Structure 1
């Protein structure tokens, strides 16, 4: 895997809001060499400076702000933090993923954003939760139908944990979406809604099989909620994923 293991900064959102620079330094000390912000509009120049000083690249960024702010302003901030991957992590009504017409509307939204992003040298992706997986449309998981309706330049970031919660055989799903998936949220835990996540390798997710099904995708560690020390869990996750790459 040529891309460094990344970490979604939502994992450390509370600490980040209190002291961004210290948090980024701690992540770099753990061994992470890439991060995935969730709000690129907060002090993008300052963020880029600190990241550069610590040797952290930006593997991509979530950008829900695109759905309620002036897109050009958001795109400028994203260009400043230093990535061309712009990921919509939510914001489309859950009901849209239950019918083909709803999926077409979701695709139209993403395709329109992709056209705007291209003018700024950026690319649009979509990140799933369970509600794009659980509904079946035309006998397939809704996200598979969505993928067929997306413009070729729109990529997917598959949240492997939420895909499992939604009922997918995750390695098989990744195989069917091959070529569209450019990033994975690599997470672990009991695969039960509402239960906290664990360090990667400490739960029930078949992580090696998942990674093997999307060998070219960027690995992004995330814990939505954590019952233990979150930095310890991130360190354990990094050690585990590095051991898989070295084996």
Structure 2
């Protein structure tokens, strides 16, 4: 059992419609702070905002941004701006998602791994790591004709340790993988986890719900987070059937009841 604290935070992408003006950004971050969040991962604010504005809004709400996240191509194409925001926030993790290949195969994954290694090397002198956030599709085999390692496994095996794993438990579950097994296999290399829950309606449609209110059995994942010393666990919910801020509060309440600390 690890002695590291498991810290619950908010993935701010959950509030995307409420991050489009400076006033909305400040009000939304303040609401997260008022309900008890202390840590955030920043994503999906208005891209026209300057990093200084975003960092000031985080700071003035009394929050700590420990990571940003965006598509790999977006970070690559606006790298200096992304790094500047992380520096201003005191963040230690730049997270990217999406393998930029229409149908990833071994060759494209290995080429992408080299790109990630180079990006990680650029931010390492700033005390930052680079995290890769796999979606369900990136847990598929790299070569469907000859199944073996998944794209993500192949990527991690061909990148240095400062390319870490941002493990979205919703997406890995959709890929048919056991979250606790993934957490233990990559122990020490998981930068953070995303907790996102859902329900299935009688017609088969999916609805996102606050963490702990859906069909996901989180017990094994929570135990594995404790055992492996995962530092940050972010509540995430980008679609809602009720007030978005109430959903974030209810997710926080559930994760605190499981032992995660603000």
TM-score strictly above 0.5: yes
Secondary structure of the equivalent of 1:5? strand
Residue 243 of structure 1 pairs with residue 257 of structure 2 = yes
Q: How does 1:38-117 map to 2 (within 5 A)?
A: 38=43, 42-64=49-71, 65-69=74-78, 71-90=79-98, 92-96=100-104, 99-117=105-123
Partner residue of 1:22? 27
Q: TM-score w.r.t. structure 1 length?
A: 0.89
Q: CA deviation at 1:186?
A: 0.8
Output one character per residue of 1:70-111: Cα deviation in whole Å (capped at 9) or x when no partner.
Answer: x23331222112202000022522522xx3222211211111
Mean alpha-carbon deviation: is it higher for 47-56 or for 149-158?
Answer: 47-56
Structure 2: gaps of 5 or more residues = none
In structure 2, C-alpha distance between the alignment counterparts of 1:63 and 1:119, rounded to whole Å: 21
Partner residue of 1:120? 126
Mean alpha-carbon deviation: is it higher for 133-142 or for 176-185?
Answer: 133-142
Structure 1: gaps of 5 or more residues = none
2:110–2:154 Cα contact (<8 Å) kept = no
In structure 2, C-alpha distance between the alignment counterparts of 1:177 and 1:237, rounded to whole Å: 25
Mean alpha-carbon deviation: is it higher for 25-34 or for 208-217?
Answer: 208-217
Output one character per residue of 1:20-55: Cα deviation in whole Å (capped at 9) or x when no partner.
Answer: 111011111111111111158733223323322322
More strand by share: 2
In structure 2, C-alpha distance between the alignment counterparts of 1:211 and 1:13, rounded to whole Å: 27
- Comparing both chains, which one has the higher relative contact order based on Cα–Cα distances under 8 Å and sequence gaps of 6 or more? 2
Secondary structure of the equivalent of 2:160? coil
2:210–2:251 Cα contact (<8 Å) kept = yes
1:39–1:61 Cα contact (<8 Å) kept = no
User: Structure 2 vs 1, CA of residues 49 and 203 (structure 1 numbering), >3 Å: closer, same or farther?
Assistant: same
Mean alpha-carbon deviation: is it higher for 99-108 or for 34-43?
Answer: 34-43
Q: CA deviation at 1:181?
A: 0.7
In structure 2, C-alpha distance between the alignment counterparts of 1:174 and 1:59, rounded to whole Å: 20
Residue 134 of structure 1 pairs with residue 140 of structure 2 = yes
Residue 181 of structure 1 pairs with residue 194 of structure 2 = no
Matched residues, number: 244
In structure 2, C-alpha distance between the alignment counterparts of 1:66 and 1:120, rounded to whole Å: 16
User: Structure 2 vs 1, CA of residues 171 and 73 (structure 1 numbering), >3 Å: closer, same or farther?
Assistant: same
Secondary structure of the equivalent of 2:215? coil
